Amino acid sequence: MNNIFLTAPNIYKLSSSSAEGLTLLNAFDVALLESGIGNTNLVKMSSILPPNCEYQDNIKLPLGSLVPVAYASIVSKKEGQKISAAVACAIPKDKTKNGLIMEYEDYDISKIEAERVVIEMAKWGMEKRDYEIGKIVSISAEHIVERNGCAFACVVLWWK
């Protein structure tokens, strides 16, 4: 059967961004635009890098297409508050195994702190699987809220 659900994505990319907006949802929407995925239909998933998935810096996503994505997102209306979001993707040494994506976001922490936590989470999850880590890639965003702020970080999966 020709079934895309049976065919795991084979390329991925990391992005992060922060934004202000008219409302919290608008701020999230602008953050998606800044991350290069704002004109697609994000389908949130939890959160595995398929085996042999290749990093590709410039993934062309058709407008309005359904895009599987793992993301960390945080919004706030509290003026002056710092918000941060981070994702980490642990890639196994053994390329026939899957990798693990972790997401973390919090109030009142820096992007460096968020990224440190999410990397620990990814390491811990790989140890739990008894998978040896080849490398970990991560990305984060930090934002100081003006009126309606959003910090966002994601791993986008796609097919080449």
47 in catalytic set: yes
Tokens, residue 116: 């440190």
Residue 58 is a binding residue for its own copies (CB under 8 A): no
Site for its own copies in 89-118 (CB under 8 A): 97-98, 100, 102-104, 117
- Any catalytic annotation for residue 52? no
For the bound state, the minimum distance from the C-beta of residue 144 to its own copies, rounded and expressed in Å, comes to: 20
Dist. CA 34–CA 106, nearest whole Å: 20
Distance CA 1, CA 67 (A): 22
40 forms part of the interface with its own copies (CB under 8 A): yes
Q: Is 55 in the site for its own copies (CB under 8 A)?
A: no
Residue 149, exposed/middle/buried by CB under 10 A (0-12, 13-18, 19+)? buried
Which of 47-55, 74-82, 108-116, 134-142 is the region at the interface with its own copies (rule: CB under 8 A)? 47-55
Separation between Cα atoms, residue 77 and residue 130, nearest integer Å: 41
- 103 annotated active-site: yes
Binder of its own copies out of 11, 36, 113, 125 (CB under 8 A): 125
Q: How far apart, in whole angstroms, are the C-alpha atoms of residue 160 and residue 89?
A: 19
From 17, 18, 35, 47, the catalytic residue: 47
DSSP secondary structure string, 87-134?
A: EEEEEESSTTS-EEEEEEEEES--HHHHHHHHHHHHHHHHHHTTPPEE
Catalytic positions, please? 41, 46-47, 103
Binding site for its own copies (CB under 8 A): 1-9, 21-23, 25-26, 28-30, 32-33, 38-51, 53, 62-68, 70, 97-98, 100, 102-104, 117, 120-121, 124-125, 128-129, 157-159
